[in-house]
Structure formats: C-alpha cells, structure tokens
Amino acid sequence: MTKGFEESLSLFKDKISDCIKSQKSISITTHIDCDGLTSGSIIAKALIREGANCTLRTSKEFSKDIVESFKTDSRDFHIVTDLGGGFVKDLNQTLGDDWIVLDHHQISEEEKDNQNVINAWKYGMDGGSEICAGGMAYLAAMSLDEKNSDLSEIAVVSALGDRQDQGDRKSFTGKNFEIANTAKELGLVEMDLDLLLVGRETRPLAEAIAFTSQPFIEGLTWNKETCLSILKSSGIKLKEEGRWRVPAELNEEEKKLVIKTITDFSPDKNTTEVMSELIGYTYTFPKEDKRSFLRDGREYSTMLNSCGRINRSGVGMAICMGDRNQVLSEGEGILTDYRKKIKEYMNILSNERWRLSENENYIMVNGEDIVPETMTGTISSLIAGSPKNIGKIIILRTRGEANTIKFSSRKSFGCKSEINLSELMRTAAEKFDGIGGGHNAAAGAKITKDKLDEFLKYLELNVVNVSSSSDHQ
C-alpha cells in the first residue's frame, strides 16, 4: 500500500471516529449497480459494527441536485461510494469538510488533489481492473477494524460484477487478487479453473449453457431446447441415475466437447476466439447453501446488478449485509425477471436491424423506447460479448428521464482501439453540456435530447480518430 493511500485511510478512520465520538449521523450514498451495492453495504456493515449512526441509500447517478439534497439532509457527514467523480468542487462548497468519496472511476488531476477523495487512480492503482469501489470500501473498512476481513467475500463479488476479472483466464490482478486471497485464506471463497457456465453447480448442463450470456451466442443463449438438442447430438452423457448432470460434474474431455459443440453451432467466424472466454477461474462461496445462486460469485453479482437496475436495491444490500431470510427468494425472483427482460430487449434489438449503424470500428445501437435507462450498461455489455462484434466499440443509447438521452459504451472482446472511452464520453458530454465518464473500456454519458444529432456526429468522428493522448476535434 502506498504512503499516500495509508494516509487517506487513516484520515477516513479519524473522520469516522470523530463522528462516533461526537454522535454525528452519517449518510452513505452509493450507486445502484453491483459495485455500488457491495461498496455501500461494506461501509454500512463496518460502520454499524463500530456503533455509528448511519443510513444507506442508492442513486442511479450523481448530480448537483444530490449534493444540494445533502445540505438539507439531517445527516452530519456524507460518504459517497462508487459515485462522485466530477463533483468535488460542489461537495466542498456545500459540505465543507464533512464528506468522503470512495471510488475507482477515472477523475481529473484537480480532483485527485482533494484529501477527501479516496480514489484508486490517485494511488497508482488501475481502477478499471485492479480494484473497484467494493475493494476500496473493503480497505477502508479494514482501516477501521481488521475484524472486517470477512467482508472480503463481498469485495470479491464487487470485482466480478464490475468485470475486473481481467487477468489470465479471468483471474484477478492487483488489490483484487490480494483481497480474493484473504477471502480464500479465511475459507470464504474457493477458486478453481473451470467452464464458466451460469449455474455451474446447480443447473442441468443444457440450462447452464442457455443461461450463459457471456459470450452471447445467438441461438443458444436463452434457448434451452436448442442447447439440449446440440448436447444430445454431441454424445455427452446428460443424465446420471435419472438426474441431470450439472457442469461441475463433467470431466476434462467432456468439458472440451462442450466447447467444441458450442463453437460448431455458431456461424460466426470469431466464435473459436471468443470461446476462450468460457474457461476461467470460478469463485465459489462454500459457506452459502449448496443449492443457492449465491454460491457462485458471478451469479451473485448478476443478482445484485439486477436488483439495482429494476429499482430493488434494498433487496441486494440486505443480502450483502447477511440477510438470508425471505429476501433471498426475492433476490432469486428479481434475477429471473431481469433475465426475462434482457432476453426480450436483445431479441428486439437483433430483429430490428434499423436500430444498428455499423462500420469496421464501431456499432451504434439505438435502444430508444426499448431499453430502460437503468439497463443500458447490461445490454451494451451483452452486445460487446457477442462473437460477431469482436474487436468493435459498442455505443448504445436510449431515452432517459426529463428529455435526456443516456449513452453506454463498451470495448468488445479483442478490441485493439487505443481510445479511452471514459475520456471520449466525458469530453463529448461536456462539449454538449452533459455529463460523462467511467473507465477505459466501459463508460457512459447523458445529454439533453436537443443535442443528440451533434453529439452523435462528434462521437462518430472521434471514436475512430482519437487516441487517449491526442486532442479531441
């Protein structure tokens, strides 16, 4: 840990101790996605353990209005997790010194100078791949008390939800690797190299393939009948003693045959390359029930993403904070509904070809009146995970609240473009009075509808021409 980071965590600890001693109430405001729900829950749990008086709420984005709302809020001190980049001046002006941001999104040099900003990039950590807000929150929780090491399990979920498993074979790197190893030493997580099918330990093989959307194989993803039919022809033994076999029960030869069967089915020339995505490290939580969807770290993270995106963040945060009662079946129901919705949107987008405008570098997708604003990130990630879009940049847009248009951009698998999407989205949005930002390979923006044509023209020109170091036109 760098000296600067240690100093920041010690500042965090001092501020929290001061709040507790002087009985100041604390609000935690966090993002609605998996990383937001996990980071907010980690901090809330750690504060509750310290005896702090705190509340936890979510927001789908950060804005001046939210900062303003803090002023009239009855809480004395404000912690913002997985949000806040770009609003440091406003936070300072409105709240003085009574705030802390724990984040991993790329921010300007000016914002890095503020001591209340505890952002991964400030300490030389890559916030896009080495640590996310959940990891930052975990390290902050550890600075309060090392007993919080059990929260490493939730930090693993956050990193999976933010797709930070970008090392060899979907392993973790940097701080994520260290945190996952802490969880492993505590017996909270098991890491194995295996087929990355959804429901590895719980679903029959055909269903597991159908539920797997990364990579997104048209015709197989969400199509159980076709999956079953190709598996039957492959000769893999699908049942044992009358019970469907699950992916974890296959031997090495059978696993190879599964990959070959999927590859042979897909007409896309890039499928073989993309299939490498199907083998990697799995993260299993052995303390969760054997039949529970929470046993698999990636499925856990999908459930959290789905909670936030359909306005049920509370369910996700309750689960992260340890509730395993009624809320668990609610979480499972949300996950099922969410998958149904994604399937519906993807079907429409693939049937209505007029919604796509494509060249060799990028695909612009018009999701207006189909994709809800909160689900643009999920859908753009799925489009980016399809073998036929390999190497391209995906830019999806849809209608947002109050006459706005929301954009979500992703670099697909194998994309060699040097462009930094965070920079592109931020610069473009600022040029047209909007807000934008994120990471090198995944970023978003929001503008008002009247600026749409100009904004699109700007993106079309700059998505190809701009490298991370050159000036935008």
CB nearer to ligand C5P: give 174 or 444: 444
If one asks whether residue 408 binds ligand C5P (CB under 6 A), the answer comes out as: yes
**Interface region with ligand C5P, contact rule CB under 6 A, candidates 44-52, 90-98, 237-245, 443-451:** 443-451
Name the minimum Å distance from CB 398 to ligand C5P.
11
Determine if 387 is a binding residue for ligand C5P (CB under 6 A): no
Report how many residues bind ligand C5P under the rule CB under 6 A. Answer: 16
CA distance 231 to 210: 12
Residue 132 makes contact with ligand C5P by CB under 6 A: no
Q: Name which of 288 and 373 has its Cβ closer to ligand C5P.
A: 373
- The reply on whether position 442 binds ligand C5P by CB under 6 A is yes
Do 191 and 200 meet the contact criterion of CB atoms below 8 Å apart?
Answer: no
Q: Does 374 bind ligand C5P (CB under 6 A)?
A: no
When asked if residue 60 is in the footprint of ligand C5P (CB under 6 A), the reply is no
Q: Which of 376, 389, 398, 440 touches ligand C5P by CB under 6 A?
A: 376
Q: Could you tell me which of 110, 84, 104, 128 has the C-alpha nearest to residue 5?
A: 104
Nearer to ligand C5P, 174 or 437 (CB): 437
Q: Residue 348 CB, nearest distance to ligand C5P (Å)?
A: 19
Opening angle at CA 292, ends 289 and 297, nearest 5: 100
Strand order in the sheet with 53-59: 53-59, 25-31, 77-81, 99-103, 117-119
Residue span binding ligand C5P (CB under 6 A) among the ranges 146-154, 173-181, 353-361, 374-382? 374-382
Among 45, 75, 105, 312, binds ligand C5P (CB under 6 A): 105
Q: What sign results for the dihedral spanned by CA atoms 216, 218, 221, 227?
A: negative
Identify the residue among 144, 236, 436, 466 touching ligand C5P (CB under 6 A). 436
Nearer to ligand C5P (CB atom), residue 75 or residue 446: 446
Considering only the stretches 187-195, 342-350, 360-368, 431-439, report the one whose residues sit in contact with ligand C5P under the rule CB under 6 A: 431-439
443 sits near ligand C5P (criterion: CB under 6 A): yes
User: Between 174-185 and 133-144, two packed helices, what is the crossing angle to 10 degrees?
Assistant: 60
**Distance in angstroms (rounded) separating the CA atoms of residues 269 and 290:** 38
Query: Cα(404)–Cα(247) distance, rounded to whole angstroms?
Result: 44
Which residue in the block uniquely carries the two structure tokens 């931020």?
Answer: 426
Binding of residue 441 to ligand C5P (CB under 6 A)? no
> Does residue 445 bind ligand C5P (CB under 6 A)?
yes
88 is an interface residue for ligand C5P by CB under 6 A: no
In the bound state with ligand C5P, the residue whose beta carbon lies nearer, of 202 and 378, is 378
Contact call for residue 161 and ligand C5P (CB under 6 A): no
Q: Which residue has the tokens 């609240």?
A: 401
Q: Specify the DSSP element, H or E, that contains 3.
A: helix 3-21
Task: Label residues 325-360 b or e (16+ Cβ within 10 Å = b).
Answer: eebbebbeebbeebbebbeebbeebeeeeebeeeee
Closest of 262, 302, 300, 266 to residue 279, by C-alpha:
262
Here the tokens at position 273 are 């390359």
Contacts of 283 (CB under 8 A, 6+ apart): 156, 160, 180, 189, 190, 191, 296, 297, 298
* Cβ partners under 8 Å of residue 180, min gap 6: 152, 156, 159, 172, 189, 191, 283
CB nearer ligand C5P, residue 36 or residue 174: 36
Token pair recorded at residue 20: 């507790």
437 binds ligand C5P (CB under 6 A): yes
**237-245, 247-255, 284-292, 439-447 -> range binding ligand C5P (CB under 6 A):** 439-447
From the CB of 410, what's the least distance to ligand C5P, in Å?
Answer: 7
Q: Which of residues 236-295 bind ligand C5P (CB under 6 A)?
A: none
What pairs with residue 438 in β-bridges? 443
Please list the helix, strand and coil fractions of the chain in percent, rounded to the nearest 5, in that order. 50, 15, 30
**Residue 160 found at the interface with ligand C5P (CB under 6 A):** no
- What pairing do the DSSP bridges indicate for beta strands 117-119 and 99-103? parallel
134 binds ligand C5P (CB under 6 A): no
- The verdict on 435 binding ligand C5P (CB under 6 A) reads yes
Continuous H helices in 297-370 = 297-309, 313-320, 326-351
| Stretch in the footprint of ligand C5P (CB under 6 A) among 219-227, 285-293, 435-443, 449-457 | 435-443
For position 135 contacting ligand C5P by CB under 6 A, the verdict is no
Interaction of residue 158 with ligand C5P, rule CB under 6 A: no
Which residues make up the interface to ligand C5P (CB under 6 A)? 85, 105, 376-377, 380, 408, 435-439, 442-446
